[in-house]
Amino acid sequence: MATHPTDLQLTYFDMPGRGEFIRLLLTYGGIPFDDVRIKFQDWRATKTVLHLPFGQIPTLRANGKVYAQSLALARYAAKLAGLYPASNLVALEADSLIDAILENWDKYNDIVYSDDDEASKKIRLATIESAVFPQLLDALNKRTVGPYFTGPEPTHADIYWFDFYKHALLEFPDIMELLHRDYLKLAAIAEAIRSSSQLAQYGQ
């Protein structure tokens, strides 16, 4: 586990979104950090006084410097938490799993946060439920070594899978039924992370 700065400050909206993965990693690793959450209605005013390297959040302050880009921040947090694989090839596998989940999650978010009417969203989300997410589950399942994605110990990919499970998959009862029927290894990973002592009090 890497030595961590004593002034870690994560800034993001008061919602899960792109900041939640970083929060989960730091919390799981027992890394102290200041969790700054901005309400949407305060964003316009707050944005002008924040140091935003690329004009957006999340950002992470470490040793007095502010860094940005959510996946870069997540990889750094994973290293601090001891969740980033030491093996380059295992790290490649874990990162590729995260990218695959992210690509599919973005398809879901593009619909949910679009300006389409609710009827159109419902039709498009039906495709996510019937085709997009099932294909993802099948692909992830084939790559899973067990008991975690890459072997006996969790990596940042397992934490991201839990984030996706909690904030996207749970919205689809049919997907949850499919997961717990045909993809038990994936369901077990989510449950192992959810019930871990490291996250026992998270969100309470």
Predicted local distance difference test score (pLDDT) of residue 1: 56
Which residue ranges form the domains of the chain, and what is each CATH number?
9-81 (3.40.30.10), 88-195 (1.20.1050.10)
H/E element, 12: strand 9-13
What are the pLDDT digits (tens) for 143-167? 999 999 999 999 999 999 999 999 9
Predicted local distance difference test score (pLDDT) of residue 3: 74
Structure tokens at 31: 């890394």
Closest CA to 124 of 137, 108, 113: 108
Would strands 65-68 and 59-62 be described as parallel, antiparallel, or unpaired? antiparallel
Predicted local distance difference test score (pLDDT) of residue 202: 86
In tens digits, the chain (204 residues) has pLDDT values of: 567 898 999 999 999 999 999 999 999 999 999 999 999 999 999 998 998 999 999 999 999 999 999 999 999 999 999 999 999 999 999 999 999 999 999 999 999 999 999 999 999 999 999 999 999 999 999 999 999 999 999 999 999 999 999 999 999 999 999 999 999 999 999 999 999 999 988 876
- Please identify which residue in the block is written with the tokens 């040793």: 63
Predicted local distance difference test score (pLDDT) of residue 204: 60
Predicted local distance difference test score (pLDDT) of residue 167: 97
- Residue 62: partners with Cβ closer than 8 Å, 6 or more residues away: 5, 7, 8, 76
- Residue 36: partners with Cβ closer than 8 Å, 6 or more residues away: 9, 10, 11, 12
Residues in the chain: 204
User: Distance between CA atoms of 146 and 13, rounded to whole angstroms?
Assistant: 34
Predicted local distance difference test score (pLDDT) of residue 2: 61
User: Distance between CA atoms of 68 and 11, rounded to whole angstroms?
Assistant: 10
Contact between residue 83 and residue 155 where contact means Cβ atoms under 8 Å apart: yes
Q: How many other CB atoms are there within 10 angstroms of residue 85's CB atom?
A: 20
Predicted local distance difference test score (pLDDT) of residue 201: 84
Report CA torsion sign: 139, 193, 185, 143: positive
What is the dihedral angle through the alpha carbons of 27, 12, 61, 163, rounded to the nearest 10 degrees?
A: 30
Model's pTM, two decimal places? 0.96
Q: Is 112 helix (H, G, I), strand (E, B) or coil?
A: helix
Q: What is the DSSP letter of 196?
A: -
